[in-house]
Amino acid sequence: MRRSLRSWLWRIPVDEEVDEELALHVELRTRELVERGMDPAAARRMAIDRLGDVARLKRSCVDLGRKREREMRLTRWIEECRDDVTFAIRQLRRAPAFTLVAAATLALGIGANSAIFALVDATLLRPLPLPEPDRLVMAWEQSPASPRGRVAPLNMLDWNERSRTFARFGGCASNVGGMVMAGADGTAETVDRQWVTSGFFDALGVRPVAGRTFLPDDDTKRLNGVVLTETFWRTRFNADPTVIGRDLRLDGDLYTVVGVVPDAAQLLARTSIWALRPIPARHPALRTAYALRVVGRMKPGVTLEQARSDMASVADGLAREFPQSNTGRSVAIEPLHGALVGSELRVTSLLFLGVVGVVLLICCANVANLLLARATVRTRELAIRSALGAGRRRVIRQLLTESFVLSAIGGALGIGVGAMILEVAPSMIPEGLLPGAVTLAFDGRVVFFCAAAAMLVGVLFGLAPAWQATELSSTLAMTSDSRTTTGRGGRLRGLLVGAEVATAVLLLVGAGLLLRTLLNLERVDRGYRADSVLTMVVDPLGDKYPTTAALMQFFGDIEREVKAVPGVASVGWASTLPLGPSYAGNWFAEIVGDPPASERDRPVADKQIVSPEYFEALDLPVVAGRAFTDRDREESVQVCIVSEAFVRQVLGGRAPVGHRVSMRPVGRPQQAPVVREIVGVARQVKGRPDEVDALVQVYVPLAQDAMDDMFMVVRPASGDAGALASGVRAAIGRVDKEQLVSVRGLMTLDDIARDATARYRFRALLVVTFAGLALLLAMIGVFGILAYSVQQRMRDFAVRRALGARSSDVLRLVLESAGRVVGAGALVGLALSVVLGRTLERLLFGVAPLDPLTFVAVGGMLLVTAGVAVVAPAWRATRIDPATALRSE
Amino acid sequence: MSAKSPNALLHGTLDALILKTLAGGPRHGYAVARFIEDTTGDALLVEEGSLYPALYRLERRGWVEAEWGISELGRRAKLYSLTREGRVQLDAEVAAWRRFAAGVAKVFAT
């Protein structure tokens, strides 16, 4: 205490202090010498001499003194901070409800922001995880028909040789497929495979983790080689280095493993195995086989413009040389990062960031409101602190420390919330919404973002309450008059909370509409009646079954073996799954004898190739005529079964059985039509859950139109079809002894239905989450301003009670002020919802944009939650004991 | 410090002497110098040029604290006094010096 008093009250600059001290020393020494009989002048000179180099002496003293002062200031500052933090924690613990609500509010705001930041970071901020990513571009063939077309292999080879600005081009096939990998233990498994050209990894700049990547030489040697992705190598081969050089049996052929590449190579496509697609001979067909997605690595120092003009001249040269194939084709070049992320995702990410940023601001405003409500309670405490000599700065600092402690707690919890969101989010996001390049990770950057956000937020919501609190304490508290009304700031706060309520109502209505849409879609009549059906793709690879007879034999063998599996009730084959993909595609289906329709009005149907037992397997009723039988063979009369929509739309309600349908594939009009006789009508099956016009369907017997890539459907005698999966696989393995069959996509029809509604589910989930958050925040806001105003009107209420008002009168006053804010907000929100419903119409199914049920439900929900928010302040207001309240003033 | 100067101070001894001096009560810089001169009977030469930096150093370490007081001339003077930490330090230095002197004495006694 004494030390600090000395330095604060007697602030003398260190150099003056030293001067004074040395002067005194010289004077006293001179006096001593004079007393001993020396001449005063000589004595003084001697006194000075004895000090030595006075200037140097002074310098070292001043130096030491200054250092000491600095250290003291720092220690004191740290001590004060420690005291403030301890005090703040004590204050927060004394009001656990307030602390909990405020910290939870901040945690939600910061957590949501951190999750979105992770998305923005992954899409926009982070460079690609490859060496010198600025040099990487995506190259497309540009033609009048398609501005961004795939690249023909020979063109890519020529780009590689002729360009002066590129170090290397490499390509991969546009789709990831599967390969059947035979294991040592006699089992076969399907692994993801991606075809690449030999320059692919060099262009990306990927260094092998083990072994090597492909060399240009491999092309000429026509190497059957594969490179493994690191994760696959680790999980499937336990990171065994001896795998390199070993041969793997893939799709029945032997492929040599040449190396392992890091997971970062999967930017263009996720896959386990990279197989080399050599471009050997200069076959002219390869000049027009537009199949590759091409990445290029520019030479160091080359700008995008230089690369573009260089490639333009290369394309010109090719067009002159190969006018037949290359006339009018140029090269489009785009930075790889931009090409992978895409502008739509970029905008979406930024939009999201904006939205959650506003959410965070609302969180801040709410916490500020809560703090204000508390600050009024603490006016007296603060006044006493001021009276005891704490300066305004010191009090503000104390209050700010409290906000920082609060925001630190909120930030720490927010990190947890963010991690949780990112943990759950990837499984919720429908496939294909994010490109392969985007991986959401919770890492140091996100934690740093949380910390920074918490700091910023601490200042944002702490400053105003601290300012106002000290203002109050200095002017009002000591005169013990706290009859303030909610003034200018109060109206602003009311507006803010009203806006929060409006937003919450708007989002709740949106959420309600989307939820009802989702429920409608899930309840949709799919057409078939089987409870649970297992499906999978069974794909006999290669050309082992060249004839229909051989293929039918193969399907028959598998069908018999699978039927023998215990628990299997029936087995069928199909080219289309209800709510799933259709392999046979759209066909023109015209009734023979009807007047020919114009191209535009020609009826189109989804052709579904099925085995006779398909209808039984799915419990799909044939409502008229007959189902297919084993007698419908390749050589017998060509027949078909049509759906109810076909009868309505194509036949116009005529009796279907006996009519003949002429079928031609859409897109290949020159192909000769096949004429089939309608033998039955099947119940209508949904093609998509949200289809408005029923899909026109024509079923064709497998024996009359065999395809080698089919779905097998298996219905169990009872229970869940998923349980049959391993038994069915084993049964297929018994037929497929050479392991040439690719079995993939094992799912139940319910899984497929769930996938079909994934986008709707994601949308609903997203909006429901935000609506819940908005409602919570709005209610915290209502609670905050109400608690504040009740606190401020304590005296008012007390006087009223003293003058004879009953507690119900006081309650009415409180509820009125709450009702004004919530009511106004709700009205605005509902009005906006009417507009929103219109814009949302496209995303809805089976529910009107002004769905009364949704609006009523939202109103009810708002009423209930507002009631919860109001309870505590209202209770407090009615419990005022006039005597105590007035005496304490 | 050359061997020919018998009253030169051993390194670090000055701090101990100052602490010991202040153990008797608050003093200003000149008084500290005079006390040491008087009690050692001029056997030790305290260089005034190193006295003040030593005082500032001790203050910075928290062994000594300073206050403004009034000197015998009636003028403002910086008065140094020992802190609790300073007292502990003094005891430690005295003990160390005793061990050192005893050791040296043993060697000389052989």
Q: In this predicted structure, what is the pLDDT of residue A363? A: 84
State how far the Cα of A647 lies from the Cα of A626, in Å rounded to an integer: 15
Q: In this predicted structure, what is the pLDDT of residue A676? A: 94
- Tell me the chain A residues in contact with residue B58 when contact means C-beta distances shorter than 8 Å: none
Q: In this predicted structure, what is the pLDDT of residue A4? A: 44
Interface test with B, best of A2, A36, A58, A64 (most B CBs within 10 A): A64
Q: How many residues does chain A have?
A: 889
Q: Is there a domain that residue B91 lies in? A: yes
Is residue A847 within 8 Å of A516, Cβ to Cβ?
yes
CA dihedral A550, A555, A557, A561 (to 10 degrees): 170
Q: In this predicted structure, what is the pLDDT of residue A438? A: 63
Provide the residue ranges of all domains of chain A, joining segments of one domain with +.
Answer: 2-85, 95-129+343-482, 144-328, 490-526+750-889, 542-739
- Flag if B48 and A50 touch (Cβ within 8 Å): yes
Q: In this predicted structure, what is the pLDDT of residue B42? A: 66
What residues of chain A score a pLDDT lower than 70? 1-11, 174, 176, 184-188, 280-281, 344, 376-377, 430-439, 469-490, 541-543, 669, 738-740, 885, 887-889
* Helix%, strand%, coil% for chain B, nearest 5: 55, 15, 30
Q: Is there a domain that residue B103 lies in? A: yes
- Flag if B71 and A24 touch (Cβ within 8 Å): yes
Chain B: give the shortest CA distance to residue A385, in Å.
28
Give burial (CB, 10 Å; 0-12/13-18/19+) of A852: exposed
Q: Is there a domain that residue B36 lies in? A: yes
State how far the Cα of A854 lies from the Cα of A835, in Å rounded to an integer: 15
From A71, which residue of chain B is nearest by alpha-carbon distance? B60
State how far the Cα of A653 lies from the Cα of A663, in Å rounded to an integer: 20
From B54, which residue of chain A is nearest by alpha-carbon distance? A61
Interface test with A, best of B56, B72, B82 (most A CBs within 10 A): B56
Q: Is there a domain that residue B53 lies in? A: yes
- Span B4-36, pLDDT tens digits: 344 555 667 888 889 999 998 899 988 998 888
Q: In this predicted structure, what is the pLDDT of residue A436? A: 59
- Tell me the chain B residues in contact with residue A21 when contact means C-beta distances shorter than 8 Å: 28-29, 52, 77-78
- Flag if A24 and B28 touch (Cβ within 8 Å): yes
From A2, which residue of chain B is nearest by alpha-carbon distance? B67
- Flag if B67 and A20 touch (Cβ within 8 Å): no
From A50, which residue of chain B is nearest by alpha-carbon distance? B48
Chain A: give the shortest CA distance to residue B19, in Å.
18
Q: Is there a domain that residue B2 lies in? A: no
State how far the Cα of A656 lies from the Cα of A639, in Å rounded to an integer: 12
**A247 contacts chain B (CB < 8 A):** no
- Tell me the chain A residues in contact with residue B30 when contact means C-beta distances shorter than 8 Å: 24-25, 28-29
Chain A: give the shortest CA distance to residue B12, in Å.
17
Q: CB A313: neighbour CB atoms within 10 A?
A: 13
CATH code, B88: 1.10.10.10
Which of B28, B49, B56 has the CB atom closest to A64's CB atom? B56
- Tell me the chain A residues in contact with residue B83 when contact means C-beta distances shorter than 8 Å: none
- Tell me the chain B residues in contact with residue A24 when contact means C-beta distances shorter than 8 Å: 28-30, 71, 73, 75, 77
- Flag if B30 and A51 touch (Cβ within 8 Å): no
Chain A: give the shortest CA distance to residue B71, in Å.
9
Element (H, E) at A62: helix A54-94
Interface test with B, best of A10, A25, A63 (most B CBs within 10 A): A25
State how far the Cα of A169 lies from the Cα of A285, in Å rounded to an integer: 20
Chain B: give the shortest CA distance to residue A84, in Å.
25
**How many structural domains is chain B composed of?**
1
State how far the Cα of B102 lies from the Cα of B94, in Å rounded to an integer: 12
- Flag if A28 and B71 touch (Cβ within 8 Å): yes
Q: How far is CA A501 from CA A179, A368, A776, A832, A840, in A?
A: 55, 17, 10, 12, 20
B61 is in which domain, residue-wise? 13-109
Q: Is there a domain that residue B8 lies in? A: no
Buried (b) or exposed (e) across A662-695, using 16+ Cβ within 10 A?
Answer: bbbeeeeeeeebbebebbbbbbbbbbebbeeebb
State how far the Cα of A688 lies from the Cα of A463, in Å rounded to an integer: 55
Q: Is there a domain that residue B101 lies in? A: yes
Q: What is the pTM of this model?
A: 0.67
From A56, which residue of chain B is nearest by alpha-carbon distance? B49
- Flag if A53 and B49 touch (Cβ within 8 Å): yes
**A24 contacts chain B (CB < 8 A):** yes
- Tell me the chain B residues in contact with residue A50 when contact means C-beta distances shorter than 8 Å: 48
**A60 contacts chain B (CB < 8 A):** yes
Chain A: give the shortest CA distance to residue B21, in Å.
17
Which of A10, A50, A65 has the CB atom closest to B68's CB atom? A10
Q: How many residues does chain B have?
A: 110
- Tell me the chain B residues in contact with residue A29 when contact means C-beta distances shorter than 8 Å: 30
Interface test with B, best of A21, A22, A60, A73 (most B CBs within 10 A): A21
State how far the Cα of A699 lies from the Cα of A536, in Å rounded to an integer: 19
* Helix%, strand%, coil% for chain A, nearest 5: 55, 15, 30
**A59 contacts chain B (CB < 8 A):** no
Chain A: give the shortest CA distance to residue B30, in Å.
5
Q: Which residues of B touch A (CB under 8 A)?
A: 28-30, 33-34, 47-49, 52-53, 56-57, 59-60, 65-68, 71-73, 75-78
- Flag if A24 and B34 touch (Cβ within 8 Å): no
From B72, which residue of chain A is nearest by alpha-carbon distance? A28
- Flag if B29 and A25 touch (Cβ within 8 Å): yes
At how many degrees (to 10) do helices A14-35 and B48-61 cross?
140
Which of B34, B72, B78 has the CB atom closest to A21's CB atom? B78
From B57, which residue of chain A is nearest by alpha-carbon distance? A64
Chain B: give the shortest CA distance to residue A25, in Å.
5
Is residue A102 within 8 Å of A367, Cβ to Cβ?
yes
Interface test with A, best of B42, B58, B60 (most A CBs within 10 A): B60
- Confidence check: pLDDT of B85 > 70: yes
- Tell me the chain B residues in contact with residue A20 when contact means C-beta distances shorter than 8 Å: 76, 78
- Flag if B49 and A61 touch (Cβ within 8 Å): no
- Flag if B53 and A57 touch (Cβ within 8 Å): yes
What residue type is A210 in one-letter code?
Answer: A
From B66, which residue of chain A is nearest by alpha-carbon distance? A3
**A32 contacts chain B (CB < 8 A):** yes
Q: In this predicted structure, what is the pLDDT of residue A478? A: 45
From A11, which residue of chain B is nearest by alpha-carbon distance? B68
- Tell me the chain A residues in contact with residue B28 when contact means C-beta distances shorter than 8 Å: 21, 24
